[in-house]
Amino acid sequence: MAILDLRNAGGYLHFDGDQCAAEGEKRATQYQSAQPFPHIVMEDFLDVDVLRRVVQEYPSREGRHYFDRPQERFKYQFNPHTVESGIVRNLLAELNGEPFLKFLSAMTGIDGLISDPYYAGGGLHETLSGGHLSVHADFNVHGDMQLERRLNLLVYLNEDWDEGFGGNLELWDKKMRKAAVEVAPVMARAVVFNTSLDSYHGQPNPLTCPSDRSRRSIATYYYTALPIETNLPQRTTTFQTRPNTGDKTDVVVKYHHFVDDWVPKKLHGIARKLGPKP
């Protein structure tokens, strides 16, 4: 039985927010106390039959770019926007949806998580025999959204994976002395971990699987907003009046904005009580 259910609504699969929050809370202590940095490894994370459908509809590598450099060899990334599969798009959309964010927030203790509709670096991954990904810390700011990267989720899609094939994910200690955790990429196993400038991880040893096999996974990343500039005024909805009309000025909102901008913060409550009423 999977940790998180995917419920069917007229053919569309979706998570339930209450279940997601409850399952996240169950794992909060385990996640937040883990070493070398907060993480968790979960078996049977999603329905294996759904994941098998994803595998059956995996995109072709033909004409696709792959990484081939000393640090990263024979690795493909498939943005779901370029994949002609309903189940792939459905599942990736749900992993970016509010119910799943509730699961992550409850488990990690990180509020205000934001998913990535651009799938920068995320989506479906595939590494061929001989491929690897050196130990690294991920980019920390999303270039388009200007958000801080906080979490990685990996869901593995490799059935009947022989441990002799290699491909283990390694989580290294912060001083880069040793791999503190190793995770084999077996079907329906999921890993979530905090991303920071010293959350070192990778798949550094080249795959030794047969040429007709590959290492496949789903990868999604999650962010929080960067701190608001201290000189940026905070505003609620600010209605405007059109010329030569009967539009009414919202004097309460204007007064509250005046208080926010000019009255010391400790006196805001008193100032609002003395101001105009709705």
Return d(Cα 7, Cα 16) in angstroms, integer. 8
What local confidence, expressed as pLDDT, does residue 253 receive?
82
Return d(Cα 131, Cα 268) in angstroms, integer. 59
What local confidence, expressed as pLDDT, does residue 254 receive?
85
Same domain, 192 and 244: no
Same domain, 115 and 171: yes
Domain holding 50, by residue range, is: 7-225
Same domain, 195 and 277: no
Residue 35 within any structural domain of the chain: yes
Return d(Cα 258, Cα 234) in angstroms, integer. 11
Same domain, 163 and 235: no
User: Residues 195-216: what's their mean pLDDT?
Assistant: 96
Same domain, 180 and 63: yes
> Which helix (H) or strand (E) segment is 170 a member of?
strand 169-172
Q: What is the mean pLDDT of the chain?
A: 94
Residue 229 has pLDDT above 80, yes or no: no
What local confidence, expressed as pLDDT, does residue 227 receive?
81
What local confidence, expressed as pLDDT, does residue 232 receive?
65
Domain count along the chain: 2
Residue 1 within any structural domain of the chain: no
Same domain, 40 and 163: yes
Same domain, 215 and 248: no
User: Residues 50-70: what's their mean pLDDT?
Assistant: 95
User: Residues 172-180: what's their mean pLDDT?
Assistant: 94
Same domain, 39 and 129: yes
What local confidence, expressed as pLDDT, does residue 159 receive?
98
pLDDT band at 226 (very low <50, low <70, confident <90, very high): confident
Look up residue 173 and give its two tokens: 């200690």
What local confidence, expressed as pLDDT, does residue 260 receive?
87
pLDDT tens, 232-258? 677 776 767 767 888 777 888 889 889
Same domain, 103 and 36: yes
What local confidence, expressed as pLDDT, does residue 239 receive?
64
Same domain, 205 and 269: no
What local confidence, expressed as pLDDT, does residue 277 receive?
83
What local confidence, expressed as pLDDT, does residue 190 receive?
98
pLDDT band at 230 (very low <50, low <70, confident <90, very high): low
